[in-house]
Structure 1
């Protein structure tokens, strides 16, 4: 299992968290998604190494941006 951490920019409410969680959860191989609204921290647990580009695309699909 692999765990990766990212920072999401632009989230302001619980709906934002739900949107990011939903989109990232749909990425192939992702097992668990945890989003901390206060810090913007996104933690992704997966069965395999998921390319950061896939996570970035899912976050952007939800309407937000990864920092860095």
Structure 2
């Protein structure tokens, strides 16, 4: 399980963009988003760095 804190995530639109960014890396990944807690959990065999880069590219850099 990969877990990120994403401070700039504030709403459902943000969560949708984050889901899309994750899907670009791994369309089969399971994504759990907690908007209030600003947490994104990803279940995938892909490398964490790929997801970190995708979130950065989507303008939602994780801490």
| Superposition TM-score tier, normalisation by shorter sequence | 0.7 to 0.9
Higher normalized helix content (fraction of residues): 2
Give the number of the structure whose alpha-carbon radius of gyration is greater.
Answer: 1
Counterpart residue number, 1:61? 57
Give the distance between the partners of 1:64 and 1:5, measured in 2 at CA: 14
Name the TM-score, length of structure 2 as normaliser: 0.84
Structure 1 vs Structure 2 CA RMSD: 1.5
Deviations 1:1-47 (A, max 9, x none): xx21111121111100000011112213752111111011111011x
Counterpart residue number, 2:31? 33
Figure out how many residues of one structure are paired with residues of the other and give that number.
63
Q: Runs of 4 or more off by more than 6 Å in structure 1?
A: none
Give the distance between the partners of 2:47 and 2:27, measured in 1 at CA: 10
Give yes or no for the alignment of 1:4 onto 2:13. no
Higher normalized strand content (fraction of residues): 1
Gaps of 5+ in 2: none
Give the distance between the partners of 2:19 and 2:6, measured in 1 at CA: 11
